Amino acid sequence: MYQYGTKEWDENYAKIVEERKKSEQKPYIVGTPEWVSEFEKKIQGDERYKEIAKNWEGSVVLVLKSDPQAGLDNDIFIFIDLWHGECHSVRMVPGEAGRNGDYVLEGEYERWKRIMKKELNVVKELATRKIKLVPFEFRKAAKLTAAAQASIRLVDLSGQVSDIFPDDLESEKVKAFKALLKELKTKFGI
Amino acid sequence: MFGLMGKILRVNLTEGKILKEEIPEEMAKKFLGGRGLASKYLFDENRPGIDPLGPENKLIFMSGLVTGTASPSASRYSVVTKSPLTNIWAQSSSGGRWGVDLKHSGFDGIIFEGISEKPVYLVIDNEKAELRDATDFWGKNVSETTKLLKQKLGETFNVASIGIAGENLVKYAAIMNDLHRAAGRCGVGAVMGSKRLKAIAVRGARKIQIADERAFKKVADKQFELLGESILSAGLEAYGTTLVLDMVNVCGGLPTRNWQTGVCSFVEKINGEALSEKVLVRPVGCFACPIKCGRDSEIRKGPYAGQKGEGPEYETVGTFGAMCDISDFEAITMAHYLCNDYGLDTISTGSTIAFIMECFEKGIITKESAGGMEIYFGNSETMIKLVHKIAKREGVGDLLAEGTRRIAQRLGQGSERFAMNVKGLELPAYDSRGAKITGLAFATANRGGDHITAYVQGPTFLATPFLVIEESEIKDPLQENPEEAKVVKDMEDALTVFDAAGSCKFMGMSLDAKEWSDIIATLTGWEFGVEEFRKTGERIYNLERAFNVREGLTRADDTLPKRLLEEPLPEGPAVGQVNKLEIFLDPYYEFRGWDKNTGKPTPEKLRELGLKEIINQIYKGEK
């Protein structure tokens, strides 16, 4: 397994992303490395996000809790590296690295899906603790409130990348999705 | 009676008589307390057309149904009267702990009537009430009056009083309690001044009876627990209400230079972080509040260094800061302290100064007509001088003390276009061209141009839904979606219940209607579910509307200043936007069950809400 934080991990992760972007068709399936890469591009190209998040400092990690029926045998950690309106990168990362992010937002897969599909409001989900800031820290919670518009913009952008979710797939594709996640787990610790 | 003390005081100031009266439980069930109960008394007792500053106008103080209990933020009382600023129904609510102490003194409320021959104050001490001579306190401001009264009566008394502004009948004078807390809007302080009532000092240890103590405590504890881990509570505690300055500005909706633009270029100098850095001492909260959005503060540098107080809060910074184009945070804080001490509403004061700055810029008022003052935007020294002059009605301050509507009527020359009020009440610091639905809420609020009647700024500018209604989401704030008029109606009704219950409206962001209904049901022993919660809010809201209809208000009054309707925003994310109010009005009246032509609640609606006894009063001679 590649060691997260090493050049080898970075290079091989970039490689798998590029390979899959060539082999897979758009819109990509939510929760795959190619989808994550497209999400990164969306944020980086969004002027509105740059404006409303110009004071934001710190990484945000979306934790999609495992849901075997939906095709997720393990939790997925999506690490979004943000600073003053810029998005440095968005990557799937191992759990340990994800937990070290500045703002770790954890929720059931189904809730994240509904948020990305704009059926639920992310601020409301945070306010009602359906999506949790883990661990809950007063200072961070305050910063999140002040950045409510930026949070909404981020999830809006994620929804613009694709509306194909793993549990919407036919059984053969679900198998392939599960196999991909298994491979990512084995090679990258994701 | 459970929840309420079940009694009010009726104080006739002309005759110097005080009576105790019981509150009928059936009336309490329909109107709860606070704003609801007070509005019922006002509707029944005020004759239409009377002078708000005359002896016939009633001035009613009423604590909320849950005020003084262990429910979160159960601190508030309402003052209800006919407004001298708007000439319609007036309500102003305040937190702190005065409302709690009033209730613990043995009374839910006080109705003042008549006018005293000489200045007086009322003392209530554990169910004993007495009017006393206030000649020695007349001419003094809030801090001094409070200090002297506490010296005279004892530190355990809590004081609500007017300052010089109320005595001078400034049309937007406030009533202050706990030194820094304001029943600020609509000029309720001027009504108190007109009655020569300087202050009310209260003390008491009467217990509030709870129908099911164990169940009530369980529900209240759960609410505290939920609020303890709410990101919204954390945001408000960390930054106070100034939290929202950046959020409004990035939508292009922070009114700047008297609403000439919605983008404030110096927002980082006046936002929540600036407050924390420049003046914050510590966060402070009202009675039983888990949030603590208040700011204990001190000015540390500049000409006002050493001044202490509470605040400023969002509206003060929005009006004295962005609207007046002033980035000097210390001066904004000083203006806030002065308003609190003189007893002035910061929204109307700041807005009125911003308005006169634009009049000066346009040559409508000159240095000569302003008594030698040069009233430029951005001049913080002038702004501070004007606050003094308004409170004392000195020079140009005498004109400014009348509020933007009357000033514009007097000055003319097109100034009505940018006199930023609705029904005479100055608008708060949210430009409705940056979130269209908020224009509807400004236009229809019962007390005039106001944000917290519906607080639809929450789901728009702040991207924060209110859980207390089922659906508060606004899909695109820059679009007029007629269906979303229902959100305004629903929020008006729900937040009315908060004023009647005596709870802070911020609680409606984090807790839902079921959780609030449970509080009321376990407190009172009444059958009170979500349906009753909604109907009660709607009933009170319709009663207030009926009061205004009886005073002559029509659909034509549900409008906005011309600037919002006709002048597109010149820059920012909402560039080019104006309010197309008419798209919302018909659907709003439909959702309300009001006549689309007249804006009156229909007889069917009034019957449905259990208000059939008032039908004849608003359809006199028609049906």
Q: Over the stretch B280-326, which tens digit does the pLDDT of each residue have?
A: 999 999 999 888 999 999 999 999 999 999 999 999 999 999 999 99
Say how far apart CA A21 and CA B467 lie, in whole Å. 41
Angle at B504 between CA B500 and CA B510, to 5 degrees: 115
According to the model, what pLDDT value does residue B20 have?
A: 98
According to the model, what pLDDT value does residue A127 have?
A: 81
pLDDT exceeds cutoff 70 at B620: yes
* Beta-carbon separation of B235 and A141 below 8 A: yes
According to the model, what pLDDT value does residue B429 have?
A: 98
What percent of chain B clears pLDDT 70, i.e. is strictly above it? 100
Say how far apart CA B176 and CA A113 lie, in whole Å. 49
Residues B575, B569: contact at Cβ < 8 Å?
A: yes
* Beta-carbon separation of A142 and B247 below 8 A: no
Mean pLDDT, all residues of chain B:
96
* Beta-carbon separation of A136 and B229 below 8 A: yes
- Give A162→chain B minimum CA distance, Å: 20
How would you classify the pairing of strands B197-203 and B120-125? parallel
Residues B164, B342: contact at Cβ < 8 Å?
A: yes
Average pLDDT over residues B140-167: 98
Average pLDDT over residues A108-116: 96
Which domains, from first to last, does chain B contain? 7-203 (3.60.9.10), 216-426 (1.10.569.10), 435-618 (1.10.599.10)
Taking the Cβ of residue A89 and every Cβ of chain B, the question of whether any pair is shorter than 8 Å is answered with: no
- Give A151→chain B minimum CA distance, Å: 9
Say how far apart CA B194 and CA B186 lie, in whole Å. 14
According to the model, what pLDDT value does residue A121 have?
A: 87
Residue B597 burial (CB < 10 Å; 0-12/13-18/19+)? Answer: exposed
* Beta-carbon separation of B243 and A146 below 8 A: yes
Average pLDDT over residues A120-129: 86
* Beta-carbon separation of A121 and B473 below 8 A: yes
SS3 B164: helix
ipTM of the modeled complex: 0.75
Between B445 and B622, whose confidence is greater? Answer: B445
The per-residue pLDDT for range A132-152, each reduced to its tens digit, is 999 988 888 888 988 989 999
pLDDT band at B147 (very low <50, low <70, confident <90, very high): very high
What percent of chain B clears pLDDT 90, i.e. is strictly above it? 92
Q: In CATH, which superfamily holds the domain spanning A7-188?
A: SCP2 sterol-binding domain (3.30.1050.10)
Average pLDDT over residues B110-123: 98
> Which residue in A has a C-alpha nearest to residue B232's C-alpha?
A145
User: Residue B334 is which amino acid?
Assistant: M
The per-residue pLDDT for range B542-575, each reduced to its tens digit, is 999 999 999 999 999 999 999 999 999 999 999 9
Residues A89, A40: contact at Cβ < 8 Å?
A: yes
pLDDT band at B621 (very low <50, low <70, confident <90, very high): low
Residues B520, B66: contact at Cβ < 8 Å?
A: yes
* Beta-carbon separation of A145 and B510 below 8 A: no
Q: Give the tokens for residue B465.
A: 């839904």
Say how far apart CA A24 and CA A73 lie, in whole Å. 22
pLDDT exceeds cutoff 80 at B510: no
Exposure on the CB side of residue A147, measured as CA atoms within 13 A: 27
> Which residue in A has a C-alpha nearest to residue B229's C-alpha?
A136
Residue B199 — φ and ψ, nearest 5°? -160, 165
Q: How many CB pairs under 8 A join A and B?
A: 75
Q: Give the tokens for residue B106.
A: 């043995």
With residue B154 as reference, give the H or E element that holds it: none
According to the model, what pLDDT value does residue A129 have?
A: 83
Residues A56, A93: contact at Cβ < 8 Å?
A: no
Q: Is the peptide bond before B312 cis (omega within 30 degrees of 0)?
A: yes
* Beta-carbon separation of B235 and A138 below 8 A: no
Exposure on the CB side of residue B32, measured as CA atoms within 13 A: 36
pLDDT exceeds cutoff 70 at B422: yes
pLDDT exceeds cutoff 90 at B134: yes
Q: Between the CA of residue B395 and those of B189, B355, B370, what are the distances in Å? A: 21, 17, 7
Chain B residues within 8 angstroms (CB to CB) of chain A: 226, 229-232, 234-239, 243, 246-247, 250-251, 272, 462-465, 467, 473, 509-510, 573
Does residue A66 come out as left (phi exceeding 0), alpha (psi in the -120 to 50 range) or beta?
beta
Q: Which residues contact A115 (CB under 8 A, 6 or more apart)?
A: A107, A121, A122, A125, A131, A155
